[in-house]
Amino acid sequence: MEALRTGLPKGEWLDREAAIEPEKEHVEDVRAIKAYRDIGKRNEAEMKDVLGKLDIRFSEVEDKDRHEVSDVEAMAEQAKAELSGQGPEDEGILAEELTLEMNVAPLTVVGSGPGHYYDFSPYHCWHRCYYHNEGGVTQGHSSCNRASKRMQTYSRARGDGAGFWDDNYTTCWSKLYFAFWPRQNGHVRAFVPYQTRGWFYIYANDKWYNSKSAYIDVDVRVQLHQNMWGAYHKDDVFHISSQNINRQGRIDRNATMYSGSMAIGAEQWVIAEVALRSRAYADGSGSTSTVDFWGTDYVHVPYVRFDFS
C-alpha cells in the first residue's frame, strides 16, 4: 500500500484490483452452471423420450430451430439499424459539466476542510469481457476513455439446443477511477452523475418441449478505497428476462447515485471506482440477447463529487 502514501495508486495495482470482483462473479457463475448441467441433461433426455412416445422426431424439432435462428438474426440486425446511436442529445449534462469546470477552482480534489470537491479527470480506466459458451454464440467488446470520460461495452449471447443445459453469456465491464486528497480526518462519500446511451434486443420462444430463455442485465456501480475497499453501491439501470419475448428499445437515462460513506484519514488518496457492467444471456436455439453501449453509444460520467465532512 506504499503507493497510497506517496502518490496515486499505480495502474498495475489498480488493474489487479479491478479484476477481482468480475473474475469472482465469473467463476461462481460457471460453477453454478456446471453444478446444474447433469440435471439439465437428464431433463433433456426425458423430454426426448416423451417426444418419441408421441411420434415426434427430435431432428424435426431441431430443423425448425435452425430456421428460427435465421429469422431471429435478421430481426436483431434490423433492431441494430433502427436503434444504434439514436439517443437524445447530451446538451443538458454537458452544459452542467462546462459550468462547473469554469466556476470550480483547479485542484479541488484537494480537500482542506468540509465541503464538496470535484474531480473532472479520471486518472485511470480498466475494461474486460468474460464469456461462457455451451455451443451458442458469445461476443463482447469493452473500452474506456479518460478524456471523454466514457465507458463502453457490447454484450451479445445466442443459445443453442433445447435449452435444458446450454447456458451462454457475455459479461463486459468498464471502469473509471477518480481521486480525492483529504488534508484532515473525516468522512467522505462520492456523488456520481451519469448518463446512458444504448440499446437492446432480446428474443426467446419457449415451448412445452424445450426450455428456452434470455435475459439482459445492466448496472452502474461505485465504491471507495482508502487502505481498503468499501462496499459496492449499485444502480440497477436495466433488467429484462423472459422465456417468451421479442422486444427491443433504447436504454437512455440521466441519473445520479451515491457511494457509501467512508471514514478516512488525512494525507492519503481516496479512490472512487465507477463501473459499468452489462450482461447478455441466452439458452436454447434461437434465444438471443444483445445490449449495446458501443460505437456512438456509451455511458458518460462527467465528474465525481467528493462530499467531505
Q: State pLDDT tens for residues 124-150.
A: 999 999 999 988 999 999 999 999 999
pLDDT at 4: 41
Residues 6+ apart with CB under 8 A from 263: 185, 186, 187
User: pTM for the complete prediction?
Assistant: 0.88
pLDDT at 58: 62
> How buried is 105 (Cβ within 10 angstroms: 0-12 exposed, 13-18 middle, 19+ buried)?
exposed
End-to-end Cα spacing for the chain: 25
Which phi and psi (to 5°) does residue 276 adopt? -110, 130
More confidently predicted of 285 and 273: 273
pLDDT band at 39, cuts 50/70/90?
A: confident
List beta partners, residue 215: 241, 281
Task: Please compute, for residue 115, the number of CA atoms within 13 A of its CA located in the half-sphere on the CB side.
Answer: 14
Average pLDDT rounded to a whole number, residues 90-103: 59
Residues 6+ apart with CB under 8 A from 217: 238, 239, 277, 278, 279, 281
- Total count of domains within the chain: 1
More confidently predicted of 110 and 286: 286
Residue 1: pLDDT over 50: no
Of 229, 239, 249, 228, nearest to 277 (Cα)? 239
Question: What's the pLDDT tens digit per position in 151-207?
Answer: 999 999 998 876 677 889 999 999 999 999 999 999 999 999 999 999 999 999 877
Residue 5: pLDDT over 80: no
List beta partners, residue 74: none
Q: Report whether 268 contacts 226 (CB < 8 A).
A: yes
Q: Report whether 258 contacts 275 (CB < 8 A).
A: no
The helices-and-strands tally (H runs, E runs) of the chain is 4, 16
Show the domain range for 106. 2-308
